[in-house]
Structure 1
């Protein structure tokens, strides 16, 4: 699907008091890129998909491209699938909807991190990806979509 198709069908920025965030599934031959948050204690933090907050007036596509580049240094060349969404409350108690997409990147490396402690290329069918249950459901949907 072309990048502009998503901009025609999805909202910009915050809508109806719900903040929008985007997450990118970057697949390298059956492995997905997961970012590791800094750890300050004995409990290993969960991993996350690259992404960004959709700023007011910004398109979903623009936020997705910007977020991947800012967090990983990788350049998005195509958006392939809208995989799914989930909602949660931000630390400030505001509702957030996170939209997830499979994206193509110019090259899967080198990954250059800006705000994360590390990254892994994890098998999409792995048992312990160390992600939240919501992200695990998105990855399960992705696996069923792409690797039936």
Structure 2
């Protein structure tokens, strides 16, 4: 499946129309039936929580560009293919606004080594046996 630039622009336009103040792009990386999770550093906002690799969309960057960049920055892995857009969820961010996280199912060129730069641990988890993740991430990975 190819995600068109028009589709991605539409995601951004819909979020802006809904009053969303922050955009985050995320990669759901599956390998042998397991999904890659990374754990937030204890001193970070929501420290100790497990999440999928994700990060802020920077000014002038598309949601998809941010997903590619953040995946590489946070895990050292390179996205090979975007399989599909699997939805979004909204949450309150640390500055009191609403952030929308756009989630994409992807494959990576190689699943190892995972090199963490912003998290303190990683694991390949079975979707039905997840560690401490937000309800939104749990719903995303088990639906």
Quick check: TM above 0.5? yes
Q: Answer yes or no: is 1:2 the counterpart of 2:2.
A: yes
Instruction: Give the structure 2 partner of residue 23 of structure 1.
Output: 26
Q: Which runs of 5+ in 2 are unaligned?
A: none
- Matched residues, number: 135
Report the Cα offset of residue 90 of structure 1: 0.9
State the match for 2:135 in structure 1.
133
CA contact (8 A) 2:24 2:102 kept: yes
- TM-score normalized by the length of structure 1: 0.83
Task: List structure 1 segments (4+ residues) > 6 angstroms apart after TM superposition.
Answer: none
Higher alpha-carbon deviation: 66-75 or 29-38: 29-38
Matches within 5 A, 1:53-92: 53-92=56-95
Gaps spanning 5+ residues in structure 1: where?
142-148
Q: Please give the root-mean-square deviation of Cα atoms over the aligned residues, in Å.
A: 1.9
Q: How much has 1:135 moved relative to structure 2?
A: 0.6
Give how far 1:15 is off.
3.1
Q: Distance in 2 between matches of 1:129 and 1:81?
A: 24
| TM-score, structure 2 as length reference | 0.86
* 1:10 partner SS: helix
